[in-house]
Structure formats: structure tokens, C-alpha cells
């Protein structure tokens, strides 16, 4: 019977040891969770997993949101890692004490001490038996062994060795199990459970061994063994070294790799950027991403708008912030609509506070029922009370598209005098309010007298560009310093140049949307033709100003010029590739390189009667300049008009037109009798072929005339203000006209 119980006890312990070492019991190594974490992370940023507060699933899991509906297992793993390594929610490096590793080491130490006790008992028992005299039979005397049979002695030694082997196996299995326990709360439980395995033999002995045998065993006297001091000290030293070895092995080869793997797993779950979601456009096949809010623990007092609405509707059955849709299609339609859809359906250009604050009587359309949720939503979102008026929220117009929808007039949606940024349907301005802007542009295009560019010093122009950098950065979500600097430079450039900046030059496209300034962009800004109709529509005199002194070098350093006078003196206005000179020194350069046509003058003698302003032009057979009185200003031009037949070139003194002031003008006289016609403002007469030998023409205002072949000796052509005329061949000697904003027109009339 005793032999059977011995075999049974050994079998049970061996089975426990084998089970402890199987993968099914130990489970997959923690490193297997690394690939699982990476796979989960790749899908956890799906936009469909966002919560009502707009936080991504990754952010919620890593912040251990206790209201998770999904990914609770992943949150549990992160909790275990944080507890085991002593990490904060979003910490990825250990510092100081690592509770799990320390506790695991202590549990392994206790387990080793427990098994060391077993080893010493076995060793002491074998030593005691070997001290008993051996003979052919076992004899007892006074409750102790007097002799022991050889068979019994060797069988005892064999069973002791088997017991020691089982203990060693259980020791190894226990260390592996404890070192792989990632839950700090389970470590102590596992250590206690292991201790019960070693108690199996004692439990079997107490429960199943016959009582007579139990009494005989208990009555046996202990065999005395002599221990010297040296032996005791050596034995203690060996045991200490053995324990240290048993601790260093799991720490270096099991616990440290486990801690490192845990850090990798947590980084795979929560490392990097957590606050974004992605979605793929199935039609285009392009992946789009969107930034989300970081998860914050909330309560009723600081819940988000949608969380408040859900709470109210769930337990009250009504919410001020919910527009209930009766059917599924209606719900899907509203959920998929954007602010532009809402802006296109608003049928009144009024501030909504008229209905929700001031109590204006309802019209045919019950706006309070349709738009109440819009009004309450915007006041709540901006931190105002429901009775707040639109003027009180005006400072937020540039930040909220919904505010522009409910407070369109206050936010400037219907006023062309307001800045153009966000004044489009796609940014909340209703179609009804924007109609006034469109009507203004149509009016100025029809009535030239109202087609006037705003001055660059006008408060509206300066305010427009003061707000541009922030508006463009907000629209395009720009955060890079270099890009922000470019937006600021664009605003500075536009404020200095004025409406001329919107012309078709190198910078006439808005840098963020790549859309023409004049035409606008339906997702960001309304056309700037509202402020610069003459420049954009060509319906009046466009703005032509020189930049301020000291600014030219900053705007166009490649010109290497200090001011516009330097530009003109160096002749840069006509140089190919240096269009910036004409743009930044528009007024000065028009005196040398041409410009816009001036008012049409009378044909004929080419004399100025009353004009004062300089007219600058360059053209063949151009039109006469403006009539006017004497002008003290000098304007320079050349007129290649008909002259006398003689070949000589003469220089004469021109006379003042009406006697008030004589200006010494220099004219390259024609071939003839040398009688120059009077030149009001310095003009160069040209080579001519005229029947009467008189000069073919006078340049009334700095114009370049054309090559004239006229039958009666009249002027072949006058260049009016800043116009390029064509080669005029006219039978009657009338001037050929130079048309167009820059006058690039060739007039060939019979």
C-alpha cells in the first residue's frame, strides 16, 4: 500500500510539472502581443471608431477610458503594462522602481527558498540513512533503526533522488511561470498555488497512508548527524550562491526581456500620434486623414455638446441641441450635408437673434422651428448664453462658419466693404446674403463712374490684409513657420502695392488655393474685385501707385534699386524679365514705358490747351493726348511724324501755347524749313515727308508718334497718355487711335 501511495504522489507531482511547462498553460509569450498590437493600431484609427466627443479610439484606449465599448482587451493589456512597469498613462520609459519586476523577483525568491528547503530535507534524509548500519535485514531498537537492509537503503536513496528530480522540475517550471506572469495582481496568487504542488506528497501521506504506518513513522527517532562549524559555513555559503544564481538567471534572461517587450507593446499601442482618424474615398481611392481631439475625462459639467444632447434625449426625450429626423433617408441626408448645403437653403439674410433674442414676429416661414438648433448650437459652442446677440459674438466671425450662417449681416456676408476671407457659401455665408456682393460687382461693371479701386491706405484694404495670414493658415491648417512667414510676406506685399497687386503678374494667384485674387475661390474667399473693380474688371481707371520709399528693396531685392526714381534713371521699366519694376513703380514707369490710354483729345495741330497731367505713351500713329493748358512738368517722348523734305535736322525753340509760360523744348525738327511747331511739353519731332515742309507733328504730352505718310502734311499720329499706337497710314491726315488699357493696337486705316 505504501508503495502505491508513493508512486501515486510522484505521478501527481510529475504531471503538475509537465502541465506547468506546456505552452497551453504558460500561454503565448508576451512578445506575441507585439504583432497583435501593431495590427490593432493599423485599424484603430478608422474614423468610424471615433466617439461622440471626437476622440479617436487609440486616444481613448491609451488614456484608459472606462466607458469603452470596443477594445477593452487592449485597454486591459495597457493597464497591466503600466502597473507592471510603474508607467503613467502616456509614459514610454521606465524610471526608478518597476513594481512588477521587483514583486516577480520576490515571488521567485520565495519559491526558490521553498524548494531549497525540500532539497535540504532530501539530502539530510539520504545522509542519515547512509549513517545507519546496513545488513541483510532491517531491525529496530527503542524506536530507531539499528540496522537497515541493503534493499531498503538503496530503494530509499532511489526514491530520494526521484523526489529531488521532481522538486528540480517543479522549481524550473515555477520560475518560468512566475517570470511570465504579466499581471502584478496574479503574481502572489501564482506563488501560493505553486506551494500547494509541493504539499501533494504530505497530503497523500496524511489522507491515505494507513494509520499504523503513520504512527510507526512518527515514533521513529531522528538519526543524529554531526555538523562541524566549517561544514556549516561552507554549506551556508553554497546555499547563498545557489540562491543568487537562481535569482540572476530569471532577472537577466526572463524579467528584463519581458520589461523590454512590454515597452515595445505599449509603444505599438500608444506611441506616436494618437489624435487622428483616416478614411478612404472609395471612388477616388485616396486616403484622407483628420485630426481629432485628445481624450479628456468628462462629467456632466464639462461634457461636449453632442454628449450633452445624447444625455438629454436619452433620459428626457428632448434636447435643445437635437434636430430630430423622422425617417432614415432624411437622417442620412442631414448627416451627410455640409455647411454650404445649409447656407444655400437659408431664405433670409437676417441675423437670427431677431427671432431667438428679440422675439421678432414670425414671417411666413417659421425660422424658430427650422433654425433654433443652429442658434443654440453656435451660442453653446462659443461659450455664450442662448440670449446672446450677434454683435456680442462678432469677434468670432472669422472662426466659426456656423456663426456666419446665423449672423450673416453682422459677420459681413452681405457687405462688399467687409473683408473677403470666408465670405463664401462653403464657409457659412448664406446665398441670399452673398447676392448683395454679386449685385455690387455687376453694378460697377455697368456704371464706370462707380468703378473705382480702393486706395492702398484705405482702412478696408489694410484690414483685409491684416487678417489674411491668420485666415489662410486657419483654412489650410498651416503650422510650418516657413509657410506662415510666406503668408505674412504676401499680406505685406499686397498692402504696399495696392490693387495693382491683383493684376496678371507673377504673384496674382493666391498662394494657398492657387486661385486668381480677382476671381476668388468658392471654398475660401470671395472675389477681390469687390474692392478693386477697376483693376479686376477693367471698367475704370485702375490703381497705379509707387510703393513707399524704403520698401522697394524689401519687395524686389533683385532690382538692386533704392527707390522708383532710381528705377527710371536706370531704364529698368522696359527691361524684359524685370516686370517687377513696372509693378512696384507703376506711376513712375508709366512716364517711360507706357501705360493706360488717357481721355481722347482733338485731332489736328497737336497743341495742348489746358492739360496739366503728364501723359506718357509710346506708339506709332497714336491718338492725341488730353487737351489742357500749360504744364510746367516735363514729359519726354518721341514723335516720328511727317516733316519737311530737306535732309537736315534742326533744333528750334518751341513757343508756349498761350503765352503764359514759355518752355524751352527740344525738338528734333524735320527736314524742311526749320520752323518748328510749338511744343507744349518736350516732344521730339521726327523725320517726315510733308508737302509744305513743316514739321509733321507736335507731341502734346510725352508721346511717341508714328511714321506718318500723309497727303496734306497733317500729323501722322499723336500718342495720347500711355498708349501704344499703330502704324498709321491715313489719307486724310487724321490721327489713328490707340486703344486698350495698354494701347497695344495697330491702326491701319485707309
Residue 361 pLDDT exceeds 60 = no
- pLDDT of amino acid 433: 86
Distance in angstroms (rounded) separating the CA atoms of residues 472 and 650: 62
* Pick from 258-272, 439-453, 583-597: least confident: 583-597
Q: In terms of pLDDT, which residue wins out, 181 or 354?
A: 181
Q: In terms of pLDDT, which residue wins out, 721 or 234?
A: 234
Q: Average pLDDT in the 516-532 region? A: 86
- pLDDT of amino acid 414: 80
Banded model confidence at residue 556, pLDDT cuts 50, 70, 90: confident
Residue 528 pLDDT exceeds 70 = yes
Banded model confidence at residue 616, pLDDT cuts 50, 70, 90: very low
Which tens digits make up the pLDDT trace of 233-286? 888 898 889 889 889 999 999 999 999 999 999 999 999 999 999 988 777 777
Banded model confidence at residue 540, pLDDT cuts 50, 70, 90: low
- pLDDT of amino acid 73: 93
Q: Which residues pair with 364 in a beta bridge?
A: none
- Phi and psi at 254, nearest 5°, equal -120, -55
Which tens digits make up the pLDDT trace of 73-123? 999 999 999 999 999 888 898 887 888 999 999 999 988 988 888 888 888
Distance in angstroms (rounded) separating the CA atoms of residues 154 and 476: 89
- pLDDT of amino acid 550: 63
Distance in angstroms (rounded) separating the CA atoms of residues 356 and 334: 23
Sheet (strand 144-149) strand order: 133-135, 144-149, 139-141
- Written as nine digits, the cell of 189 is 496568487
**pLDDT more than 90, % of the chain:** 11
Which ranges of 22-98 would DSSP assign to H, the alpha helix? 23-26, 32-44, 57-62, 72-85
Domain boundaries, the chain: 104-225, 300-428, 447-545, 594-750
Long-range contacts of 116-124 (CB under 8 A, 24+ apart): 116/239, 116/242, 116/243, 118/163, 118/164, 118/167, 118/198, 119/164, 119/167, 122/160, 122/163, 122/164, 122/167, 123/164, 124/225
Residue 347 pLDDT exceeds 70 = yes
Given 3-state DSSP classes, what are the helix, strand and coil percentages for the chain, each rounded to the nearest 5?
Answer: 50, 5, 45
- pLDDT of amino acid 61: 94
Distance in angstroms (rounded) separating the CA atoms of residues 99 and 1: 49
Residue 581 pLDDT exceeds 90 = no
Distance in angstroms (rounded) separating the CA atoms of residues 572 and 564: 10
Q: Average pLDDT in the 670-682 region? A: 37
DSSP per residue, 238-296: HHHHHHHHHHHHHIIIIIHHHHHHHHHHHHHHH-S--SEEEEE-TTT--EEEEE-PPP-
Q: In terms of pLDDT, which residue wins out, 699 or 539?
A: 539
10-19, 68-77, 196-205, 706-715: range with highest mean pLDDT: 68-77
Q: What is the mean pLDDT of the chain?
A: 72
Q: Average pLDDT in the 515-531 region? A: 86
Spatial CA neighbour of 518 closest among 534, 502, 507: 502
Distance in angstroms (rounded) separating the CA atoms of residues 423 and 437: 10
Q: In terms of pLDDT, which residue wins out, 642 or 467?
A: 467
Residue 134 pLDDT exceeds 60 = yes
Strand 287-291 and strand 276-280: pairing? antiparallel
Banded model confidence at residue 459, pLDDT cuts 50, 70, 90: confident
- pLDDT of amino acid 626: 35
Residue 37 pLDDT exceeds 90 = yes
Q: What is the CA radius of gyration of the chain?
A: 49
Banded model confidence at residue 366, pLDDT cuts 50, 70, 90: low
Which ranges of 66-149 would DSSP assign to H, the alpha helix? 72-85, 99-131
Residue 681 pLDDT exceeds 80 = no
Going by the DSSP 8-state scheme, the letter that residue 610 receives in this structure is B
Which ranges of 575-725 would DSSP assign to H, the alpha helix? 579-584, 586-593
Strand 287-291 and strand 139-141: pairing? unpaired
Q: Average pLDDT in the 636-662 region? A: 35
Banded model confidence at residue 469, pLDDT cuts 50, 70, 90: very high
Banded model confidence at residue 664, pLDDT cuts 50, 70, 90: very low
Q: Average pLDDT in the 371-379 region? A: 83
Q: Is 362 exposed, middle or buried (0-12, 13-18, 19+ CB in 10 A)?
A: exposed
CA 20, chain centre distance (Å): 53
- pLDDT of amino acid 566: 76
- pLDDT of amino acid 298: 58
Which tens digits make up the pLDDT trace of 286-305? 788 888 888 876 554 556 67
Residue 694 pLDDT exceeds 50 = no
Q: Is the pTM of this model over 0.75?
A: no
62-76, 412-426, 641-655, 702-716: range with highest mean pLDDT: 62-76
- Written as nine digits, the cell of 32 is 506575441
* Pick from 16-20, 49-53, 138-142, 207-211: least confident: 207-211
Q: Average pLDDT in the 447-472 region? A: 85
Amino acid at each position: 500500500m505504501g508503495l502505491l501511495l508513493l508512486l501515486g504522489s510522484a505521478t501527481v507531482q510529475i504531471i503538475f510539472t509537465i502541465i506547468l511547462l506546456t505552452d497551453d498553460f504558460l500561454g503565448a509569450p508576451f512578445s506575441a502581443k507585439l504583432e497583435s498590437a501593431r495590427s490593432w493600431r493599423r485599424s484603430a484609427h478608422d474614423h468610424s471608431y471615433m466617439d461622440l466627443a471626437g476622440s479617436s479610439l487609440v486616444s481613448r484606449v491609451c488614456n484608459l477610458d472606462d466607458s469603452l465599448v470596443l477594445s477593452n482587451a487592449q485597454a486591459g493589456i495597457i493597464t497591466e503594462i503600466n502597473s507592471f512597469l510603474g508607467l503613467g498613462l502616456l509614459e514610454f520609459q521606465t524610471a526608478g522602481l518597476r513594481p512588477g519586476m521587483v514583486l516577480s523577483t520576490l515571488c521567485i525568491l520565495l519559491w526558490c527558498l521553498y524548494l531549497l528547503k525540500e532539497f535540504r530535507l532530501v539530502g539530510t534524509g539520504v545522509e542519515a540513512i547512509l549513517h545507519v548500519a546496513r545488513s541483510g535485514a532491517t531491525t529496530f531498537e527503542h524506536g530507531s533503526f539499528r540496522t537497515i537492509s541493503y534493499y531498503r537503503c538503496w530503494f530509499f536513496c532511489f526514491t530520494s533522488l526521484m523526489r529531488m528530480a521532481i522538486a528540480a522540475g517543479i522549481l524550473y517550471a515555477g520560475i518560468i511561470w512566475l517570470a511570465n506572469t504579466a499581471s502584478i495582481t496574479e503574481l502572489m496568487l501564482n506563488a501560493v498555488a505553486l506551494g500547494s504542488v509541493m504539499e501533494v506528497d504530505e497530503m497523500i501521506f496524511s489522507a491515505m497512508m494507513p494509520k499504523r504506518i503513520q504512527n510507526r513513522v512518527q515514533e521513529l527517532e531522528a538519526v543524529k548527524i554531526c555538523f562541524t562549524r566549517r561544514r556549516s559555513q561552507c554549506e551556508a555559503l553554497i546555499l547563498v550562491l545557489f540562491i543568487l544564481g537562481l535569482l540572476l538567471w530569471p532577472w537577466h534572461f526572463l524579467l528584463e526581456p519581458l520589461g523590454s517587450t512590454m515597452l515595445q507593446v505599449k509603444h505599438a499601442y500608444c506611441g506616436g500620434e494618437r489624435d487622428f482618424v483616416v478614411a478612404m474615398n472609395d471612388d477616388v481611392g485616396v486616403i484622407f486623414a483628420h485630426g481629432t481631439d485628445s481624450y479628456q475625462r468628462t462629467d456632466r459639467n464639462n461634457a461636449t455638446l453632442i454628449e450633452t444632447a445624447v444625455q438629454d434625449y436619452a433620459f428626457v426625450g428632448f434636447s435643445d441641441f437635437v434636430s430630430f429626423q423622422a425617417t432614415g433617408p432624411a437622417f442620412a441626408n442631414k448627416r451627410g450635408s455640409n455647411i454650404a448645403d445649409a447656407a444655400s437653403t437659408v431664405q433670409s439674410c437676417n441675423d437670427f437673434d431677431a427671432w431667438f433674442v428679440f422675439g421678432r414676429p414670425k414671417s411666413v416661414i417659421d425660422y424658430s422651428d427650422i433654425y433654433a438648433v443652429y442658434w443654440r448650437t453656435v451660442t453653446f459652442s462659443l461659450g455664450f448664453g442662448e440670449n446672446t446677440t450677434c454683435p456680442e459674438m462678432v469677434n468670432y466671425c472669422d472662426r466659426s462658419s456656423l456663426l456666419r450662417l446665423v449672423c450673416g449681416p453682422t459677420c459681413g456676408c452681405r457687405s462688399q466693404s467687409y473683408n473677403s476671407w470666408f465670405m463664401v457659401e462653403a464657409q457659412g455665408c448664406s446665398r441670399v446674403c452673398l447676392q448683395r456682393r454679386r449685385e455690387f460687382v455687376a453694378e460697377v461693371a455697368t456704371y464706370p463712374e462707380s468703378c473705382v479701386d480702393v486706395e492702398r491706405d484705405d482702412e478696408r484694404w489694410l484690414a483685409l490684409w491684416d487678417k489674411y495670414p491668420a485666415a489662410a493658415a486657419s483654412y489650410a491648417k498651416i503650422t510650418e513657420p516657413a509657410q506662415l512667414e510666406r503668408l505674412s510676406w504676401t499680406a505685406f506685399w499686397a498692402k504696399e502695392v495696392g490693387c495693382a497687386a491683383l493684376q496678371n503678374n507673377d504673384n496674382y494667384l493666391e498662394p494657398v488655393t492657387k486661385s486668381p485674387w480677382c476671381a476668388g475661390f468658392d471654398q475660401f474667399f470671395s472675389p477681390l474685385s469687390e474692392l478693386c473693380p477697376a483693376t479686376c474688371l477693367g471698367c475704370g481707371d485702375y490703381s497705379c501707385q509707387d510703393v513707399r520709399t524704403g520698401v522697394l528693396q524689401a519687395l524686389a531685392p533683385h532690382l538692386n534699386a533704392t527707390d522708383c526714381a532710381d528705377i527710371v534713371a536706370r531704364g529698368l521699366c522696359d527691361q524684359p524679365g524685370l516686370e517687377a519694376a513696372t509693378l512696384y513703380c507703376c506711376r513712375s514707369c508709366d512716364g517711360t514705358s507706357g501705360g493706360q490710354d488717357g481721355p481722347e483729345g482733338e485731332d489736328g495741330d497737336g497743341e495742348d490747351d489746358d492739360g496739366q497731367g503728364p501723359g506718357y505713351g509710346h506708339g506709332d500713329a497714336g491718338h492725341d493726348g488730353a487737351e489742357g493748358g500749360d504744364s510746367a512738368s516735363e514729359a519726354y517722348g518721341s514723335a516720328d511724324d511727317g516733316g519737311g523734305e530737306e535732309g537736315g535736322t534742326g533744333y528750334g525753340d518751341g513757343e508756349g501755347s498761350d503765352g503764359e509760360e514759355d518752355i524751352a523744348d527740344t525738338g528734333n525738327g524735320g527736314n524742311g524749313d526749320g520752323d518748328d511747331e510749338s511744343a507744349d511739353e518736350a516732344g521730339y519731332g521726327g523725320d517726315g515727308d510733308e508737302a509744305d515742309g513743316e514739321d509733321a507733328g507736335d507731341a502734346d504730352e510725352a508721346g511717341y508718334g508714328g511714321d506718318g505718310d500723309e497727303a496734306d502734311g497733317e500729323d501722322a499720329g499723336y500718342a495720347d497718355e500711355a498708349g501704344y499706337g499703330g502704324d498709321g497710314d491715313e489719307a486724310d491726315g487724321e490721327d489713328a487711335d490707340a486703344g486698350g488699357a495698354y494701347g497695344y493696337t495697330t491702326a491701319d486705316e485707309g
